[in-house]
Structures are given as structure tokens and as C-alpha cells.
Amino acid sequence: MSNITFDLRDNGMIVGLPEGETYFNYYWLRDACQSSIDPQTRERVFDVTQMKSPPRAISAMVRDDVLVIDWRDEAQPSHVPMSLLTEVAANGRAADPAALPRKLWYSDHLPRITRVEQNAVLNSDEGRARLTRALIEDGIAIVTGMDKTTEALPRLVNSIGPVTPSAEGLFFDVRVEIAPTNLAFTAGPLEMHTDLPGEENAPGVQFLHCLENTVEGGLSLFLDGAAVAEALRAEDPEAFALLASHEIPFFYRHDNWDYRAHQRVIETDPDGEVTGVTISQHLQDNMDLPQDLLDVYYPAFVKFIRMMQEDRFTLRFRSQAGNCVVFDNHRIVHGREGYVADSGSRHLRGCYTDRGALRSTYRVLMQKGVADISPPASALA
């Protein structure tokens, strides 16, 4: 890298990287100096707002793969690793091991769902890496061989992140109740939904641990909401744009709580990529968009929900005692067929952690160099 050129401008410099000339802002370069981060707390200790004047470079050179910059108004030079500059030039940002592309899936996904033994998750970095990677890429995985005790669930969750509470508390039990606070706690069918959209921050990652299931019916239903959203974008871009642009209200209400929040039905990131969906007709409040906008919004909304009922998207399977389905509650839409209440017992125990904790756990494993690729299916017990 001895022949790198520098063109020092007023607010930044053009660096002649081998990959091409790339502009870097001076504030950014000053903030990116290695000395800006305290090695003990790992926090930023340089405060850009304390500079008396905007940073202005007077010279730049590369030494030992580090860009060394002398500043007009500072005694000390800054040191920025060239590897950071090439990363930013290539991707616009530093690498994030958890920024794995989503793999959309359809109704034929069942045989390919990632399955990891409880003991592999609890006792090995590799098991934990396979589970967390599947949750980031596919949004769903099954942990098998769970103990059929109430302690098994918190043990599993805590290997990924802290249990985040909802209005129902830290854990909830899905079974027939006498005075249900929620349609889930009946034997009726439960239409496709994401959980608790009435909370400002709807739960991120959901766990459903099956403790018992001997009833007739009651098949579990799952679909990839991001796959349905992308199908809608392909088939009806205007409907997609409406659902991705406007927020509608949801609630969760009973004697002691009255949660309300607005959510976009299709959630996109600043690049326009689908990051999730929110759907829950039984917790949907009266829409409060302008009434004339509803003339076009409602048909788009109805179309999207009907797409979710198409067979091409839906996985159907019987929850087995000892399994725990884990899924991204902002992406994976779930439901249940009705069942015959007195034909046996059905008891799922559930809770949540958040997606930030999931990605944090995966990053730490990757930084330790843990392998996260599943062994071939034949190697799985």
C-alpha cells in the first residue's frame, strides 16, 4: 500500500485505495482514530464536540497498514487502520457478523428447519451458534429434547438473552382457561398473528415450549412474513408501499392494563428491505388513518392477510412434547388450528427475549471463532 494517494480537501480527503478513490470526511476520520476507544470500558472517550474548530488534515500517510493523519489544530496525529477504510469503501460500514441476509422460506421448509438438541445449546458454543444463526437467517428453529419441566425454558432462553417481560409477566401458559384474557387461552382456532403488537416494543424472539400435547387437532401454523411481504411487493407494489408506509393501531387490554401502540404492518429498514411484519387482527384497534386513505389501505391490508392464508406459505405441524419452537416474533407469523378441548391435554409454555440480545450472542460466538454451520443431516441424532 505504498503508492496510496491523498487529496486533502476542506471537509475530508479522497484516498486512492487499491479498490478505487474514496472520500472520507475529516470528522469521521478523527472519530475513527484508535485512541478514541478506552481499552478498559471499550467506550468512546474522544469527544468530537470539544474540538475548538472543525478538523482539518495537513498531511496523511500510510505506515504499517495504518493511516496516519496530522491535523492543523492538534498536536497528536490520528491513526486509523486501513482495513477499516477498505471495509467502509466496500460496504459503507464496518463488518457486522450478525448482519446475515434473511433466507426467505415457504411451505416446503419443514424438513429443513434447523433442529438443535437442548443439550447442544446449553453445553456447546457450536450448538448455540447453530441455533442463533438459524434464528437470524430463517427466523425459526426447533430445540429438541427439552426437559418437560418449567425450569427448562428459562435455562434455554438465558443461553441467548434475558427473558423480557410482557403484560402477562415473564412467562405465559397456552392452554384452555376458564376466564381467558386472550383467544390463545381457549381451544378455538387462532388466526395467523405476531404477538403483542400493542406493546411499544413488541417481543423480539418468542419461545414456545411444548410440555404436553395429546389433543385431536390443534396443529401449529407458521409462515415467513418477510416471504409473504416480498411476494406482495412483486404482485402488487402499491399495496406493499401502503402497508410499509403507514402505521395502524393495536391494543392489549384487560382489567389491569391498557396497552396501545402503532405499528407498520410491513416493517422495512432504511434500504427498503423487509425486516418484519406485524399482524394481529384480534388485537387490532379501529384504524386511525385518514378515512379517504382507508379506501386504498383497507383493500391492501385485506389482500396481504389473505395471502398469508395461502398454502404456499404455511408450515403445519404437530407440536411435540419436549420440543421448543423458537422464532423471530417480528418476522414469523404463527397461529393454531382449533382442537377438541376434552380429547386430551395441550400445554405450551412461552416467553420472549429480544432480537438485539440474539444478535449480541451470535456476534460474541463468531468473535470466538465458533463454527456455526450445521453438520450434514445424517450426522444429527
Query: Between residue 170 and residue 189, which ones bind its own copies under the rule CB under 8 A?
Result: 170, 179-183, 186
Residues 322-351 that bind its own copies (CB under 8 A): none
For residue 277, state whether it binds its own copies (rule: CB under 8 A).
no
| Shorter beta-carbon distance to its own copies: residue 3 or 49 | 49
Least distance (Å) from its own copies to the CB of residue 229? Answer: 16
The sign of the torsion formed by the CA atoms of 121, 123, 126, 132 equals positive
Least distance (Å) from its own copies to the CB of residue 34? Answer: 11
For residue 197, state whether it binds its own copies (rule: CB under 8 A).
no
CB 14 within 8 A of CB 23: yes
Least distance (Å) from its own copies to the CB of residue 157? Answer: 11
CB atoms under 10 Å from CB of 350, counted, come to 20
For residue 32, state whether it binds its own copies (rule: CB under 8 A).
yes
Span of 38-46, 57-65, 120-128, 228-236 interacting with its own copies by CB under 8 A: 38-46
3-state secondary structure 164-211: CCECCECCEEECCCCCCCCHHHCCCCEEEECCCCCCCCCCCEEEEEEE
CB 350 within 8 A of CB 327: no
Query: How many chain residues interact with its own copies (CB under 8 A)?
Result: 92
Contact characters 149-168, its own copies, x per CB under 8 A:
-------------xxxxxx-
Residues 47-86 that bind its own copies (CB under 8 A): 47-49, 51, 54, 84
Bridge partners of residue 16, in order along the sequence: 21
For residue 103, state whether it binds its own copies (rule: CB under 8 A).
no
Torsion of CA 255, 260, 266, 269, to 10 degrees: -130
Bridge partners of residue 352, in order along the sequence: 206
Q: Where are the alpha helices (DSSP H) in the chain?
A: 26-31, 82-91, 118-123, 125-137, 152-158, 225-235, 237-245, 291-308, 355-367
For residue 236, state whether it binds its own copies (rule: CB under 8 A).
no
CB-based burial, 240-262: b 16+ in 10 Å, e otherwise: bbbbbebebbbbbeeeeeebebe
Least distance (Å) from its own copies to the CB of residue 254? Answer: 6
Helix axes 225-235, 291-308, angle to 10 degrees: 120
For residue 310, state whether it binds its own copies (rule: CB under 8 A).
no
Least distance (Å) from its own copies to the CB of residue 177? Answer: 10
C-alpha span between 352 and 356 (Å, rounded): 12
For residue 302, state whether it binds its own copies (rule: CB under 8 A).
yes
Q: Which of 8, 25, 125, 321 binds its own copies (CB under 8 A)?
A: 25
Least distance (Å) from its own copies to the CB of residue 323? Answer: 26
CB 66 within 8 A of CB 80: yes
For residue 380, state whether it binds its own copies (rule: CB under 8 A).
no
For residue 11, state whether it binds its own copies (rule: CB under 8 A).
yes
Q: Which of 256, 376, 378, 379 binds its own copies (CB under 8 A)?
A: 256
For residue 41, state whether it binds its own copies (rule: CB under 8 A).
yes
Q: Which of 169, 272, 369, 376 binds its own copies (CB under 8 A)?
A: 169
Least distance (Å) from its own copies to the CB of residue 115? Answer: 26
